[in-house]
Chains A and B, each alone.
Chain A
């Protein structure tokens, strides 16, 4: 049985089954569920972008929501002015990408904390700017756009049509993201993440790759903004908020950073947790969310994606005879020999 599960055939089978599930789901589910699933695709793209700079690239970014919001505003503006949808899409990706690139060009030489602070500044500056420039953005009330209705020939309802459009676009981005991270760029980022000085000595310019990663992350963020407007049909300054950026970082780590599947799991967490917490007790959503988050981090510090690995680890340990000289009770610590009470020197 174990061989069957880890075998190649099973993986292909699982992949096909999941794809089929995603393709058929909207035909049988409620509009609300389709909406939720579509949001997973939207935030999946955004979190994938975040993963590229933060999970794979090792640079903390707390400003991803600013790019999502910017892309959403570009999309809303373009739709409202009846620009061709393809043009709107390209601009929703390109404008945030350019902004991200300019910021990275100026700031990528900074060390981690300073750059993180600059990413924090983006949503903080962005929200009041969005409120101020109300001719473009609709001000504090936001911009509503009604579009992407299902064409008659499809025989689908609008929520189903939007689901498919968004999923196809998201799938394309995931393929691009996967190829980027598995390829040369991904390897270079991994080296930069581990040790910038070593990267330099290998001819890998940390600066250049950080700018590249940041630009890609912003592009993905902008695309997610376009998809967001497609599903939600609305955007407002809240979309750019710092709070939203934090949620995406949390989702990334919970799902599993530096992992494509982890990104999807993280997006699912982001979308479904508030719903579930709201069901349990609407006045205590924060309390429940916080508790769940900490619980996941304690049990699965490498994210939900590490669940199968962790389960097999635990089952192996209980099978082994007890009384081994060193018990690794702190799964974080790769240096198993150190006595657990005392952390490594802060870097």
Chain B
């Protein structure tokens, strides 16, 4: 069943066009990757989906047209965007950050057990649960941002450059947790990554963007086998 569908989506920053005719699909329980170099338009694609950028074309989530909706409206439909730069609420404690993530949940008990799950997924956060989020390291903040997204019990997670600025071992740990989340919760994902090797641990298929256009796409096996992809992205 198709959960997310982009058709001929375009976006521009002011007068400069950044995305051209982007079309792809994500099915339920599916994980798709968006790969490409810096400035290719990967993050803009996620922002287009979560409503942070206005777009042309059509974006449908669960059959419903979501272009033109506000980000908080889109989030309430079940899309959790973990943004580039993490969007940490620095003045709030780690626990409060997680509570914000669970804002739409009505039942208090599920919030508590969800927090438990997140702390199990990211044990580093457990000792820092009462600290101000701004005092966390880069890796911990990334984990917190992902956990905050999980707290919303979303149907679709948009993950933007989760490995950015992280030491390789930390990035590995983050992606192991994401892979585990995928297995246990079955939530659909769209993962933007410059580091294709990390992305392919989780995603089944991917598109490759170059200056705002899709230049390659296909299942993991096919892409990993291609020389261009290996040379440009798997090495990093």
Which residues of A are interface residues toward B (Cβ below 8 A)? Answer: 324-328, 336-339, 341-342
B53 touches A337 (CB 8 A): yes
Q: Are A326 and B14 in contact (CB under 8 A)?
A: yes
The answer to whether A326 touches B51 (Cβ under 8 A) is no
List 12 additional contacts besides A326-B14, A337-B14, A337-B54; criterion CB under 8 Å: A324-B15, A325-B54, A325-B55, A327-B54, A328-B14, A336-B14, A337-B12, A337-B52, A339-B52, A339-B70, A339-B71, A342-B70
Query: Quick check: B14 and A338 within 8 Å, CB to CB?
Result: no
Judge if B212 is at the interface, Cβ distance under 8 Å. no
A326 in contact with B70 given A336-B14, A337-B14 (CB within 8 Å): no
Q: How far, in whole Å, are A222 and B127 apart by their CA atoms in the complex?
A: 59
Kindly list chain B residues whose C-beta atoms are within 8 Å of the C-beta of A337: 11-14, 44, 47, 52-54
Contact of A324 with B12 in the complex, beta carbons under 8 Å = yes
**B10 near A: Cβ within 8 Å?**
yes
B93 within 8 A of A: no
B56: Cβ under 8 A from any A Cβ: yes
Contact residues in B for A324 (Cβ distance below 8 Å): 12, 15
A326 and B71 in contact, given A337-B53, A339-B52 (Cβ under 8 angstroms): no
Q: How close is A222's CB to chain B, nearest CB, in angstroms?
A: 43
Some 27 contacts from A to B, beta carbons below 8 A apart, are A324-B12, A324-B15, A325-B10, A325-B17, A325-B54, A325-B55, A325-B56, A326-B11, A326-B14, A326-B53, A326-B54, A328-B14, A336-B14, A337-B12, A337-B13, A337-B14, A337-B47, A338-B52, A338-B53, A339-B51, A339-B52, A339-B54, A339-B70, A339-B71, A341-B70, A342-B70, A342-B71
- Top 9 A-B residue pairs of the complex, sorted by shortest distance between their CB atoms: A336-B14, A337-B13, A325-B12, A325-B56, A337-B53, A326-B54, A326-B12, A325-B10, A325-B11
Q: Which of under 10, 10 to 19, 20 to 34, or 35 or more describes the interface residues of B? A: 10 to 19
Interface majority SS (helix, strand, loop, mixed), chain A: loop
The 0/1 profile, CB within 8 Å of A marked 1, for residues 1-22 of chain B is 0000000001111110100000
Complex interface: chain A residues within 8 A of B13 (CB): 326, 336-337
Chain A residues with Cβ below 8 Å from B70 are: 339, 341-342
> How many angstroms between the C-alpha atoms of A336 and B13 in the bound complex?
6
Residues of A close to B47: CB separation below 8 A: 337
Instruction: Tell me the smallest distance from the CB of A341 to a CB of chain B, in Å.
Output: 6
Chain A's closest residue to B51 (CB) is A339
How many angstroms between the C-alpha atoms of A337 and B13 in the bound complex? Answer: 5
CA distance A326 to B67 in the complex (A): 13
For the complex formed, measure the closest distance between the CB of B57 and the CB atoms of chain A, giving whole angstroms: 9
CA distance A324 to B56 in the complex (A): 8
CB distance from B87 to the nearest CB of A (A): 10
Complex: how many Å from CA A181 to CA B47?
A: 41
- When distances are taken between beta carbons in the complex, the residues of chain A under 8 Å from B12 are 324-326, 337
CA A338 to CA B47, docked complex, whole Å: 9
Q: Which of B10, B11, B14, B52 has the most CB of A within 10 A?
A: B14
Minimum Cβ distance to chain B for residue A319 (Å) = 14
- Per-residue CB contact flags for chain B residues 55-70 toward chain A (1 = under 8 Å, else 0) read 1100000000000001
Chain A residues near B54: list those with CB within 8 A: 325-327, 337, 339
The docked-state distance in angstroms from the alpha carbon of A316 to that of B17 is: 19
Give Cα A336 to B54, complex, Å: 10
A326 CA to B15 CA, complexed, in Å: 8
The CA of A326 and the CA of B52, in the complex, are separated in Å by 11
A330 → B minimal CB distance (Å): 12
A326 to B12, CA, bound (A): 6
Per the bound structure, the CA–CA distance linking A328 and B12 in Å amounts to 11
List of A residues within 8 angstroms of B14 by Cβ: 326, 328, 336-337
CB contact between A339 and one of B15, B44, B53, B56 (< 8 Å): that residue: B53
Chain B residues contacting A339 (CB-CB under 8 Å) are 51-54, 70-71
Tell me the bound Cα distance from A328 to B54 in angstroms.
10
Give, as a whole number of angstroms, the nearest-CB distance from A190 to chain B: 23
Which residues of the other chain, A, contact B56 by a CB distance below 8 angstroms?
A: 325
Q: Give A36 Cβ to nearest chain B Cβ, in Å.
A: 43
Residues of B with C-beta under 8 A to A327: 54
Which A residues lie within 8 Å of B51 (CB)?
A: 339
Q: How far is the CA of A3 from the CA of B91 in the complex (A)?
A: 54
Q: How far is the CB of A290 from chain B (nearest CB, A)?
A: 32
Q: A347 → chain B, closest Cβ, in Å?
A: 13
- Minimum CB–CB distance from A308 to chain B (whole Å) comes to 21
B11, B47, B52, B54: most-surrounded residue (chain A CB, <10 A): B54
Residue of A nearest to B10 (CB): A325
With both chains docked as a complex, state the minimum distance between the C-beta of B53 and any C-beta of chain A, in angstroms.
Answer: 5
Cα distance A342–B50 when bound, in Å? 14
- Report the Cα distance A339→B75, complex, angstroms: 15
Chain B residues whose CB sits within 8 angstroms of the CB of A338 once the complex forms = 52-53
